Amino acid sequence: MYENGIQSPKGVWWKPAHRAEKVWIAIAFGWCMVLFAMMPIWHLRGGQNVSGIRHKVEAADFRERTNEFIAAYQVGEDRGMPIVEPPPGSDIYLLGMMWQWRPILRLQEGAEYILHLSSVDVNHGFNLHPFNINFQVVPGYDYGLRITPTEAGEFRIVCNEFCGVGHHMMVGRVEVVSAEESRWGGNASGGDGGDPNGQAGGDQ
Amino acid sequence: MSASTSQAAIPSLFRTCPSTGLKVHDHAERLIRAHAVVATVMLLVGGIAALLVLLTRWQAIHLLDAVWFYRILTVHGMNMLIFFIIFFEMAVLLFAGPILLNCRMPAVKTAWGAFGLMVLGMLLVQWTMWTGQADVLFTSYVPLQAHSNFYLGVILFAVGTLITTGIFFATLVVAKREKTYEGSVPLVTFGALTAAIIAVITLLHGAAIYIPTWFWSMGMMEVDAQVYRMVWWGLGHSSQQINVAAMVSIWYLLATLTVGGVVLNQKVSRIAFVLYILFISMASAHHLLVDPGMGSAWKVWNTSYFMYMAVLASMIHGFTVPAGVEMGMRLRGFTQGFFGWLKRAPWGDPGFSSLVLSVVVFGFVGGITGVTFGTEQINIIAHNTLRIPGHFHATVVSGTAMAFMGLTWYVIPLIFRKRIAFYPLVKIQPYLFAFGMLLFSLAMTFAGTFGAPRRLWDMTYSGAPFDVQYSPAMDIIIAVMAIGGLMGIVGGGIYILATVWSVFFGKPLPEGKEAEYVGSIPLGLIRRPWTETPATDEDPEAPGRFGAVPGTVFLVAIFFVAFVVYYFANWALLSFTWQVG
């Protein structure tokens, strides 16, 4: 005898389930284990993770590091914003503030960088357009992510965390160039500039 | 004709049970009415805000300026996700307690005081929002700062909620002690109890974050931006889990009221509810997966709600609710084939159509996208894009609000004792609302797949130093989103019109005369399937080798395939992007 949802079950209601229920619960449980296992597996095998190198940082210190970074590697300027071309393998800095991303980054295709993200005022959202790579940029925290641009081109950084009335104007730029076009292509890779990975000696 | 158990439950619904005392019952009913009326007003305000937000994001119209867009977006979030939903949920607790347990309403004055506190807090929040002193959106991420009265208003509202929840617990004690029911509490009350427990957990998180933030807004202390996000989402996400638990309880309730659905197995359904309590508050992590403050071990463990045990709970309810409907129908003789029970179901009963649409859209769209986007690495291609509001409009709007609306068509005749105005319109309301919101959610999800940000006033980025080009398909996707959203808003408008009209200007419904009002109240109230005793105690003969509920087995199999395909498609999508880590 079944009760409905508004009847009080009398006596012991701890009874065996239907076979269909048991089978479904077993399948659902197995699927939950797959869902759980996929995340550690992707850490071992996948190319896209969120681990990063994470530290607390004072806003003033991060601003200072960004300025040093810009001073060291600036190669030009666009609409008042410095263009910076750091060597492959180096630590690079991107500072979010109301309402700009500073500086413009020129990166080398196939090279790995450690991209440091932070904010000096409120929360911002890092959205690499059009690849749709998203990270939260939190004031007081330095998120260092190893990134490897996979293709050359012009990209944008769109802020996707509400940061005040000028939020929609907060658009930054990333340029990815091939190893030949890269300022570091010859030197940093230690060869003739044709090394597609461009990583060897990247710390010079 | 009826088992004694059901007869005991029914008179209390109709207030004819002499033992409970009519006067006391009036208090519960008056409280339910007050909460329901305020909830509807909140829905109206939030709905108007929804229209304004939609017409601004629809770039072809772009109605509001930037300041008012973010202001109205704040109004939309607070009114819908906090005020409408929680006022309605308090009404549900007042129904699942005193009414379903057939007992008196304890602490009546305190309950009215709590209601007053909630209204006061709500008005304080409204005042700061509308006067431009709280342009911080629903999440109010520190260090964006609102006027201190905004935080104070939320705190007062939460205290009121906590008191009403406490009174619900007291009702359970009173009913048990005064022996107003035999055996265990009904499943619907059990589900409401889990919602109430989750509400307490949620509100404690709320206190832990809003009280320090209130002091911070007055310059008295510091609040760390990352800690704020973590604790705030202990409130923000957990409060959506109150919705889930309340919604699932309403699913069981509507299944009972509309077609005489049964509980296939009390043990299974109750364990699933308990799983919600145990693991749901870990879901704060869903919002922090690409944040710098936490490590991967923390993220994996928490985002999975302890190895997806809360997801397991939802998958169980996703089976047992339709299975309960199927079994209830089969027991009543609708045994033909796999889907005879579905074909013969009362699709014109707005309570039933709301139930089915709520289950389907919540499960297929809200559930699948939620679990997928809540996967640690997949969140990289979902965080803060339109995929996120695409997901939660499918859960909170097409799931929770749809279920609440479906229940309303039963509450108006049962509690307000009124016939439903514009009933022919009400019969199509669930379809209009659900299909509109489905279109809206799917379009948002697609737009987000192309990287369109959520919470953005201008997708042309006017005034930005560099241009941003989207796929040419984006304009079409946004137009589909707008059309779906408008359909949803019309559906919501019909809901508000019909409920307000019925309650304030509606024709009365004499007790015991339901059968004379076919066409102005839901069919379930005329047939009263929950009072019939099925012809047999045995499981009816079902076709095939798929057990007693073959139709449900078939439906969950489709769901499972959709889940697996969408989940792995997202891993594939992720693998195409830049290497990062």
Q: Identify from A27, A50, A62, A142 which residue to disrupt to test chain B contact, counting B C-beta atoms within 10 A and taking the largest count.
A: A50
- Among A13, A7, A23, residue whose Cα is nearest residue B262: A7
Same domain, A42 and A112: no
Radius of gyration of chain B (CA): 23
**What single DSSP character describes residue B185?**
P
**Which whole number is the average pLDDT over A81-102?**
96
Domain assignment of residue A193, yes or no? no
The four Cα atoms B189, B193, B199, B204 give a dihedral, to 10 degrees, of 160
Q: Which residues of B122-135 are buried (b: 16+ CB within 10 A; e: fewer)?
A: bebbbebbeeebbb
A122 and A23 fall within a common domain: no
Instruction: Compare CB distances from B376 to A18, A39, A143 and report the shortest one's residue.
Output: A39
Q: Is the pLDDT of residue A199 over 60?
A: no
Q: Report CB contact under 8 Å: B309, A32.
A: yes
Question: Is B66's CB within 8 Å of A168's CB?
Answer: yes
The pLDDT, as a whole number, for residue B536 is 64
Q: What pLDDT band is residue A203 in, cutting at 50, 70 and 90?
A: very low
Q: Does A182 touch chain B (CB under 8 A)?
A: no
Chain B contact probe: residue of A10, A22, A29, A48 with most B CBs at under 10 A: A48
Indicate whether A29 and A109 sit together in one domain.
no
Residue of B nearest to A40 (CA): B300
Using the Cβ of A94 and the Cβ atoms of chain B, whether some distance falls under 8 Å is answered with: no
The better pLDDT of the pair B18, A63 is held by A63
Residue A2 lies in a domain: no
pLDDT recorded at residue B534:
66
**Same domain? A76 vs A26:** no
Cβ atoms of B250 and B92 closer than 8 Å: yes
The answer on A94 and A108 residing in a single domain is: yes
A35 within a domain of the structure (yes/no) = yes
The answer to whether residue A85 is domain-embedded is: yes
Q: Are residues A45 and A85 in the same domain?
A: no
Q: Are residues A145 and A113 in the same domain?
A: yes
Co-location of A31 and A72 in the same domain: no
* Helix residue ranges per DSSP H, B375-422: 387-392, 402-414
Buried b (16+ CB within 10 A) or exposed e, B255-266: bbbbbbbbbbbb
Residue B451 in contact with partner chain A when CB distance is under 8 A: yes
From chain A, pick out residues whose CB is under 8 angstroms from the CB of B290.
Answer: 50, 134-136
Q: Does B288 touch chain A (CB under 8 A)?
A: yes
Assess whether pLDDT exceeds 50 at residue A60.
yes
CA distance readout (Å), A142 to A57, A66, B231: 6, 12, 20
Q: Which residue has the tokens 């919705």?
A: B243
Give me the CATH code for the B346-462+474-531 domain, please. Answer: 1.20.210.10
User: Is the Cβ of B322 closer than 8 Å to some Cβ of chain A?
Assistant: no
Pair type for strands A141-148 and A113-119: antiparallel
State residue B405's pLDDT score.
96
Of A7, A47, A150, the CB nearest to B186: A7
Share of chain A above pLDDT 70, in %: 91
CA–CA distance, B10 with B525 (Å, rounded to integer): 11
- SS3 at position B544: coil
Please check whether residue A156 is in contact with residue A129, taking contact to mean a CB–CB distance below 8 angstroms.
yes
Contact criterion met (CB < 8 Å) for A156 and B466: yes
Domain that holds residue A79: 53-188
In chain B, what are the domain boundaries?
Answer: 21-185, 346-462+474-531
Residue of B nearest to A140 (CA): B225
Q: Do B289 and A50 touch (CB under 8 A)?
A: yes
* pLDDT score for B371: 95
Q: In what order do the strands lie in the sheet with A81-84?
A: A74-78, A81-84, A104-108, A171-177, A153-159, A124-129, A133-137
Q: Residue ranges of chain B with pLDDT lower than 50?
A: 1-14, 17-24
Cβ neighbours of residue A86 under 8 Å, at least 6 residues apart? A69, A72, A73, A92, A105, A107, A113
Residues A34 and A64 both lie in one domain: no
**Cis omega (within 30 of 0) on the bond before A99?**
yes
- Both tokens of residue B538? 């045995």
The amino acid at B25? H
Beta strand extents in A19-170 (DSSP E only):
53-56, 74-78, 81-84, 91-97, 100-102, 104-108, 113-119, 124-129, 133-137, 141-148, 153-159
Identify whether A92 is part of a domain. Answer: yes
pLDDT of A10 reads 85
Which pLDDT score is estimated for B25?
Answer: 67
Do B384 and A160 count as a contact with CB atoms less than 8 A apart?
yes
The pLDDT, as a whole number, for residue B537 is: 64
Q: How far is A116 from chain B, CA to nearest CA, in Å?
A: 10
| Cβ contact A5–B289 (<8 Å) | no
The pLDDT value recorded for residue A186 is 52
Residues A81 and A164 in one domain: yes
Asked whether residue A119 falls in the same domain as residue A176, the answer is yes
**CATH number, domain with residue A158:** 2.60.40.420
Flag whether A69 is in a domain: yes
- pLDDT of A161 over the 80 cut: yes
- What residues of B are in contact with residue A7 (Cβ under 8 Å)? 5-6, 9, 186
Residue after which a domain boundary falls, among A7, A30, A49: A49
Residues of A in contact with B577 (CB under 8 A): 48, 131-133, 150
- Is residue B67 within 8 angstroms of chain A, CB to CB? yes
**CB A200, CB A190: distance < 8 Å:** yes
Q: What distance in Å separates the CA atoms of residue A167 and residue B144, rounded to the nearest whole number? A: 13
Cα three-residue angle B280-B286-B290, rounded to 5 degrees: 155
pLDDT (0 to 100) of residue A202: 36
Give DSSP secondary structure letters for B99-112.
ITTT---SSHHHHH
Whether the pLDDT of residue A192 is over 90: the answer is: no
Compute how many other C-beta atoms are within 10 angstroms of the C-beta atom of residue A197. 16
Query: B288: which chain A residues are within 8 Å (Cβ-Cβ)?
Result: 136
Whole-number Å distance between alpha carbons of B171 and B165:
10
Query: Are residues A123 and A72 part of one domain?
Result: yes
